[in-house]
Structure 1
């Protein structure tokens, strides 16, 4: 977290802020503050995570490249480059790349999702 007495610096994806997730996916923590997180993530074709929900956090997925698919109860949401999808707290979801090229997204969560991720057994499309 940046405080008023610290200089502002640019943040970018690097080995220092990298984390693996899902099945072959990569992420980079750009901002990690209890109230907010900003991550850049890459999902290879077929990349996905397990169905889950966040009880408190609201998430916005902004697509940089590729096509994002988010399965929620009853429907499949899709977004392409330059588009965003919002997932409110409490909504079960499954993020995946059903396309043939890497999917790159910016993921904003408010507040941060650390400690706020719950697996679900929901049947998602």
Structure 2
């Protein structure tokens, strides 16, 4: 079956952020997320999950273990397990990106702040 934002499972998170679960398996999760301007996720890490963040449109700011990385259209970054990180949209435009987690990260999240 073909999957898109129009037919994927949708959820809200944070400050008016959206997520669409494109692949939802125990060993693999792919989520299309949307962050309005000036929003952020809470800083956290995953015990087992390795994640890859890939920006589809906009400019995202990632803090990974104290290092700030700016991601623009069609740029991505990998975050290994046990590494604290935080996705932020510090711009004045919407950011859309993919989060690919292996294994799925839902039950694996540890807050750091």
Larger strand proportion, structure 1 or 2?
Answer: 2
Partner of 1:71: 63
Runs of 4+ in 1 over 6 A off after TM superposition: none
Q: Which has the higher contact order (CA 8 A, sep 6+)?
A: 2
Q: Which has the larger radius of gyration?
A: 1
Correspondence for 2:81 = 89
1:38 aligns with 2:30: yes
RMSD across aligned positions (CA): 1.2
Offset of 1:72 from its aligned partner?
A: 2.3
Which ranges in structure 2 are unaligned for 5 or more consecutive residues? none
- Equivalent pairs counted in the alignment come to 113
What TM-score comes out, normalization by structure 1 length?
Answer: 0.86
